[in-house]
Amino acid sequence: MRLVVDLNRCQGYAQCAFLGPDVFRMHGEEALLYDPVVPEDRRPQVLAAAAACPVQAILVDAPGLREVDPVVG
């Protein structure tokens, strides 16, 4: 499974870090760290995090996503 977070849209509410701590974590109060390639067994956490994001910054399995280096924002 692949995901991407639109870091221009992300406001650092950290709902993703609460719901998917194995996938998302905050670095400081506003910087989000995540791995864009996620094991399939983490899908429920990622989907819950994406649904809870108040600004809808998390895209899961979106067309055109490709494997990239981990993102630091």
Q: What is the pLDDT of residues 34-71, one digit of tens each?
A: 989 999 999 999 999 999 999 999 999 866 655 545 55
What domain range is 30 assigned to? Answer: 3-60
The CATH number of residue 15's host domain is: 3.30.70.20
Count the Cβ atoms, other than its own, within 10 Å of residue 56. 12
SS3 65: coil
Task: Give the H/E segment covering residue 4.
Answer: strand 3-5
Residue 73 falls within a domain, yes or no?
Answer: no
Residue 68 falls within a domain, yes or no?
Answer: no
Residue 71 falls within a domain, yes or no?
Answer: no
Position 28 confidence tier, pLDDT thresholds 50, 70, 90: confident
Task: Give the H/E segment covering residue 26.
Answer: strand 24-27
